[in-house]
Amino acid sequence: MRILMVCLGNICRSPLAEGIFRKQLQLRGLDWEVDSAGTGNWHIGEQPDPRSIQVARLQGLDISNQRARQINGRDLSFFDYIFAMDRSNQRQILELARQPQHRERVYLFLEFARSQEGPDVPDPYWNDRGFTNVYHLLDQASQHVIERILEQESTSSRGAT
């Protein structure tokens, strides 16, 4: 399974989502691929925002090795699930995704998690105190997302046999 997390800058929300998701996969012994990208190009090559690194570190998670990149057309065919952090990110991704089989891989993260907090993961870039909230939102939602993917994949493989 290949999972891509997408936000605007790929320095605040999606690097956290990538790190949290990967940690939860490890805890469950699932060998899935996880990556993240931004719809914008301002921060290409940069480390995550220091506030994201710090909030992750407080939870025992090191995301400092990640580097920002911009989403591209190849991502749309490579990844099985593409999760947008907010509706604006989702619109941008759908601008790139013209083919129906690519468009149907694009989901809003909190909606897919059936979170009550959705539909958008709030952008904490302009709000220093938003990072802890975002961490917990992503942590909770990631568990539901993994469960839902496992459910969907087992249903579709049963259907195929």
Residue 37's nearest CA partner among 89, 114, 88, 80 is 89
Please report whether residue 19 would count as binding ligand 4NP according to CB under 6 A: no
| 128 labelled catalytic | no
The CA-CA-CA angle for residues 136, 6, 155, to 5°, reads: 80
Count Cα neighbours of 127 within 13 Å in the Cβ-side half-sphere.
10
Among 3, 4, 5, 8, binds ligand 4NP (CB under 6 A): 8
Please report whether residue 4 would count as binding ligand 4NP according to CB under 6 A: no
Among 7, 37, 56, 97, binds ligand 4NP (CB under 6 A): 7
Among 11, 17, 37, 97, binds ligand 4NP (CB under 6 A): 11
Q: Find the catalytic residue in 13, 22, 51, 105.
A: 13
- Tell me how far apart the alpha carbons of residues 91 and 74 are, in angstroms, rounded to a whole number: 17
| 114 labelled catalytic | no
Q: Specify whether the CB–CB gap between 33 and 3 falls below 8 A.
A: yes
| 75 labelled catalytic | no
Please report whether residue 37 would count as binding ligand 4NP according to CB under 6 A: no
* Residues within window 98-137 making contact with ligand 4NP, judged by CB under 6 A: 123, 125
Cβ-Cβ contacts under 8 Å for 141 (sequence gap 6 or more)? 109, 110, 113, 115, 117
Minimum CB distance to ligand 4NP smaller for 11 or for 82: 11
The residues that are catalytic are: 7, 13, 123
